[in-house]
A = this chain, B = another copy of it.
Amino acid sequence: MASYKAPLREMQFVLHEVLGLDQALAQMPRYAEVSPDLVDAVLEEGGKIAEEVLLPINRAGDEEGCQYQAGGVVVTPKGYKEAYKTFREAGWTSLAGDAEFGGQQMPKAVQVLFEEMVYATNTSFQLYCSLSMGAYQALAAHATDALKQTFLPKLVDGSWTGTMCLTEAHSGTDLGLLRSKAVPAGEGAYAITGSKIFITGGEHDLSDNIVHLVLARLPDAPEGVRGISLFLVPKFLVNADGSLGARNGIVCGAIEHKMGIKASSTCVMNLDGAIGYLVGEPNKGLAAMFTMMNAERLSIGIQGIGLAEASYQNAVLYARDRIQGRAANGAEQPEKAADPIIVHPDVRRMLLTMRAQTEAARCFAAYVGTELDKSKYHPDAAVRERSEALVALLTPVAKAFFTDYGFEATVMGMQVFGGHGYVREWGMEQFVRDARIAQIYEGTNGVQALDLAGRKVVGSKGQWAELFFAEVEDFLGRDGGVHPIFPGLRHALAQLKEATAFILGRAGANKDEIGAASADYLRLFGLTAFAYMWARMDRIAEAKLNDDMAFYGAKRSVARFYAERVLPDATALLAKIKAGAEPLMALDAELF
């Protein structure tokens, strides 16, 4: 079975040393009581529950999976119910919630690092929590006070969980096609009928009630995305005194058999006149749903980081332990029958690639998380506005780039194990299977790329991207010391700016140019953003090198590796972008 140690020192480095979280929090009254010590204590305790409660049931949960039983019952694997109870009672479902509903309102940067540990040790488990928090956010932003008072404390204390019921069989990325219907049913309620698929946590045995957020059409609603409304549909209706009432007409019809995340139930949910309550304005359901989209997408990005970190830790242990062959320049451990495989440059290439990306991603996640907090809670409107633009720009980068590289990292970690990586008992191939879905759900990575290049870059006429470029240039302008990563960052930024100008120049005449460039553009953006993170980490590491040669020296070494062995991809990406749409669009659809 795979092992895991919460990377607490790494997290402290990112939060307190690189990003200056404590100074940022001091500017936001919401976080007046969040001290550095509290942050560290939360992460330390979070690491323990991940290591001690969630990791031990991860492998068995994958083997057993969720089971569907007659009558719409879904049973989670052995141990999940008990683990959820422990998790909930220790207060972990309340980390992100607002104080007025019983939440701990921890900063987003702390949330994402906690989530990283939960994804790392049990991705399926985290999904129940992540969806609940998504439902919480949407309700907190758009529901009536009555609904909030009834439902939010329960989502915060974890006794109830939540879902997002968006997708229908014929309507995934294109939600304008959805057909579920809502008709008035008196007393401000609606009766909702339709069928939803791919509903994460749609049914299970972890909580007393499930709060479904359902997209459906009101009678006479306009066609397409302008005619979609959002409803709260509980599994059990709730009585005036808060106790559970009748079973509502929303029932799980089947669960999917999937490549991975097998302990997470993925449900077909059938609604047959289910009672629901309108959330937000009629026909404005999509806008309400997208309120919490940035937070949710960032969370799914974290899945990539968590699984990459878990895979990395196990690959390192294996590479130090497994003896096979000899170092190219002569035996390093001649007393043994062979040297550990970590002596081989190509094994190191894989490990360093995983590590360089994971540490940059962790730093970037906390950075975007803090900007997200600033966009909502900073007292200065100008700061909020700037942060909101940055978050809108960088969230698709985080979601897609974290999950793409995260998947690639789990594939590399498995490769380090050779044949043993392909055997299930070692747990390395589960990381790959569990990581794969994150590139697909919560908006496929292709959709993220289109969102970045189209809505965010072209949509803002390049202004939001300029905000980010200016920040990086400002950082580089304050350069001191010798940093091999700085020239790499300068070069990557120049290429990213050139790509941005290219897309802005082409998009007017041919909108296909946006989609044609989008995937490579997002990757180039991600590479540059990670280079920026490594530059920031390297600057701190250089300044503090003598405090801890091993820790900061390793940071400097990985920064250099990133500059010299990862960043060269930027050049190739720019060349592909500049090839334009024509090579993609020339072939007739029938000739594929």
Which residues in chain A, 249-285, are within 8 Å of chain B measured between CB atoms?
Answer: 256-260
Contact between chains at B440 and A422 (CB < 8 Å): yes
Give min CB distance, A252 to chain B, whole Å.
Answer: 16
The verdict on A67 contacting chain B, using a C-beta distance below 8 Å, is no
The verdict on A515 contacting chain B, using a C-beta distance below 8 Å, is yes
Please tell me which stretch of A109-117, A387-395, A429-437 contacts chain B, meaning at least 4 of its Cβ atoms lie within 8 angstroms of it. A429-437
Which residues in chain A, 549-592, are within 8 Å of chain B measured between CB atoms?
Answer: 550, 553-554, 557-558, 560-561, 564-565, 568-573, 575-576, 579, 581, 583-587, 589, 591-592
Most buried by B among A177, A257, A422: A422
Contact between chains at B592 and A355 (CB < 8 Å): yes
Which residues in chain A, 460-511, are within 8 Å of chain B measured between CB atoms?
Answer: 510-511
Q: In whole angstroms, how far apart are the Cα atoms of A419 and B172 in the complex?
A: 8
Contact between chains at B418 and A345 (CB < 8 Å): no
Q: In whole angstroms, how far apart are the Cα atoms of A429 and B262 in the complex?
A: 14
Q: In whole angstroms, how far apart are the Cα atoms of A352 and B450 in the complex?
A: 18
B-chain residues with CB within 8 Å of residue A558 when the two chains form the complex = 587
Q: In whole angstroms, how far apart are the Cα atoms of A348 and B588 in the complex?
A: 10
Q: In whole angstroms, how far apart are the Cα atoms of A592 and B340 in the complex?
A: 13
The verdict on A328 contacting chain B, using a C-beta distance below 8 Å, is yes
Instruction: Tell whether A259 pairs with B422 under 8 Å between CB atoms, given A174-B325, A568-B572, A568-B575.
Output: yes
Contact between chains at A198 and B419 (CB < 8 Å): yes
Contact between chains at A576 and B584 (CB < 8 Å): no
| In the complex, per-residue mask of A417-461: 1 if CB is within 8 Å of any chain B CB, else 0 | 011011111000100110011011100111001100000000000
Contact between chains at A348 and B585 (CB < 8 Å): yes
Give min CB distance, A360 to chain B, whole Å.
Answer: 16
B-chain residues with CB within 8 Å of residue A198 when the two chains form the complex = 419
The verdict on A23 contacting chain B, using a C-beta distance below 8 Å, is no
Instruction: Tell whether A424 pairs with B257 under 8 Å between CB atoms, given A173-B324, A173-B418, A554-B591.
Output: yes
| In the complex, per-residue mask of A321-349: 1 if CB is within 8 Å of any chain B CB, else 0 | 00111011100000001101011111111
The verdict on A351 contacting chain B, using a C-beta distance below 8 Å, is yes
| In the complex, per-residue mask of A213-235: 1 if CB is within 8 Å of any chain B CB, else 0 | 00000000000000000000000
Choose among B350, B550, B576 the residue that contacts A591 (Cβ–Cβ < 8 A). B550
Contact between chains at B421 and A440 (CB < 8 Å): yes
Per the CB 8 Å criterion, the residue count for chain A at the interface is 98
The verdict on A319 contacting chain B, using a C-beta distance below 8 Å, is yes
The verdict on A516 contacting chain B, using a C-beta distance below 8 Å, is yes
Which residues in chain A, 507-524, are within 8 Å of chain B measured between CB atoms?
Answer: 510-512, 514-516, 518-519
Number of copies: 2
Choose among B172, B414, B419 the residue that contacts A167 (Cβ–Cβ < 8 A). B419
Contact between chains at A576 and B565 (CB < 8 Å): yes
Closest to A515 in B: B345
Q: In whole angstroms, how far apart are the Cα atoms of A568 and B579 in the complex?
A: 10
Instruction: Tell whether A340 pairs with B572 under 8 Å between CB atoms, given A345-B512, A423-B256.
Output: no
Q: In whole angstroms, how far apart are the Cα atoms of A172 and B341 in the complex?
A: 12
Closest to A566 in B: B576
8 contacts between A and B (CB under 8 A): A258-B422, A259-B433, A342-B592, A346-B518, A415-B446, A558-B587, A565-B584, A568-B572
Q: Besides the contacts A259-B424, A349-B519, A422-B437, what 4 more A-B pairs have beta carbons closer than 8 Å?
A: A259-B423, A346-B449, A346-B516, A432-B436
9 cross-chain pairs, A with B, having the tightest CB-CB distances, nearest first? A328-B511, A568-B575, A345-B515, A564-B579, A259-B429, A345-B516, A572-B572, A174-B324, A568-B572
Q: Which residues of A are interface residues toward B (Cβ below 8 A)?
A: 167, 170-174, 176-177, 197-198, 256-260, 316, 319-320, 323-325, 327-329, 337-338, 340, 342-352, 355, 407, 411, 414-415, 418-419, 421-425, 429, 432-433, 436-437, 439-441, 444-446, 449-450, 510-512, 514-516, 518-519, 550, 553-554, 557-558, 560-561, 564-565, 568-573, 575-576, 579, 581, 583-587, 589, 591-592
